[in-house]
Structure 1
Amino acid sequence: MRRYTVTTAVTLCAVASLAAAMGPASAFPAAAPPAAHAVKQQPVPPVLVDCLWNPQVHPGDFMIACGDGNSRLASLRWSHWGPDSAEATGTNLVNDCKPYCAAGTFHSYAVTVRLDEPKPWAKNPKMQHFTQMSLVYTADRPEGFQRTVTYPLWS
């Protein structure tokens, strides 16, 4: 019986000593919340939404004609990707569909690509996505195309 009394007394003394050393919770100042100006998050840049509904930033390739694959951008080199626009140079590979698309030939055309008009993306409204793409053909261009072609982008 005496053994339990000694063990209990030692345990109680240890707990009391620990509590005294820590002091009341009010003795320690509360941690100050981080200053609002100290944590500055960089804005998320707008994205380019691909055919599979994946958001992309600085893609190297991009399918323009999702339905049939007869027009795509390749070898994109981005010189600018900002909150309002993005710009790249690359190649537009276009099927001439002669005599019909399945038997057609792909031709390469040098282009400058510009992305504009960012808006909230329907799939993720907190994310902006570009809604317009303009291609400027810098040399030859596909038959029937203007020097500058502008496409609305899906959301």
Structure 2
Amino acid sequence: MRELAMTKVAAVCAVATLAAAMGTASAAPAAAPSTAQSVAQRSVSPVLVDCFWKSQVRPADFILACGDGNSRLTALRWSHWHAGSAVAVGLNAVNDCRPYCAAGRFHSYPVVVRLDDPQPWEKQPEVQRYSRMTLTYPGDRPERVPRTVTYSLWD
């Protein structure tokens, strides 16, 4: 008899706990993010999305030619990485593909990299990602490449 009473007490406590938890959850409307939370989310610096759909912040290296890796940024040193833009200096290593890419040689050119135009990232819309990259070559540059070139970055 005592065992039956204990079982009933445990069952009543479990039901009461469950009802209290469900009542609290269903009675309270879903909280909208506070203004402070929204501002905090927006103030986080954007990311740079790489060829493998990974987010990066201040990467030392970055592949520009995802298909074959024949153009990449190396030795990047970032002077700033802010909500609106990021700037680095480094090298653009470009394969000359002579006589063909597999037999070609890489040549490195000093470059200034600017990222800007943050947009929501399709994979994670709450995260901003830089959507544009501008490369400026202060000296030598790859053949047939203008001194300044701007690329739209993938999403």
Q: CA deviation at 1:44?
A: 1.4
Q: Kindly provide the amino acid, as one letter, of the partner of residue 105 in structure 1.
A: R
Equivalent residues in 2 for 1:53-132 (5 A)?
53-132=53-132
Q: Kindly provide the amino acid, as one letter, of the partner of residue 100 in structure 2.
A: Y
State the partner residue of 1:48. Answer: 48
Q: CA deviation at 1:41?
A: 3.8
C-alpha separation in 1, matches of 2:104 and 2:114 = 27
Relative to structure 1, the CA distance from residue 44 to residue 100 in structure 2 (aligned partners, 3 Å threshold; closer, same or farther) is: same
Q: Percent identity?
A: 62
C-alpha separation in 2, matches of 1:71 and 1:138 = 18
Q: Kindly provide the amino acid, as one letter, of the partner of residue 110 in structure 1.
A: P
With structure 1 as the length reference, what TM-score do the two structures score? 0.73
Q: CA deviation at 1:134?
A: 0.6
Runs ≥4 residues deviating over 6 A: 36-40
C-alpha separation in 1, matches of 2:120 and 2:35 = 26
The count of aligned residue pairs is 120
Larger-gyration structure (1/2): 1
Q: Kindly provide the amino acid, as one letter, of the partner of residue 79 in structure 1.
A: S
Equivalent residues in 2 for 1:6-17 (5 A)?
none
Instruction: In structure 1, list runs of 5 or more residues that go unmatched.
Output: 1-35
Relative to structure 1, the CA distance from residue 38 to residue 133 in structure 2 (aligned partners, 3 Å threshold; closer, same or farther) is: closer
Equivalent residues in 2 for 1:27-38 (5 A)?
none
Relative to structure 1, the CA distance from residue 37 to residue 85 in structure 2 (aligned partners, 3 Å threshold; closer, same or farther) is: closer
Q: CA deviation at 1:78?
A: 0.3
With structure 2 as the length reference, what TM-score do the two structures score? 0.73
Instruction: In structure 2, list runs of 5 or more residues that go unmatched.
Output: 1-33
C-alpha separation in 1, matches of 2:146 and 2:125 = 34
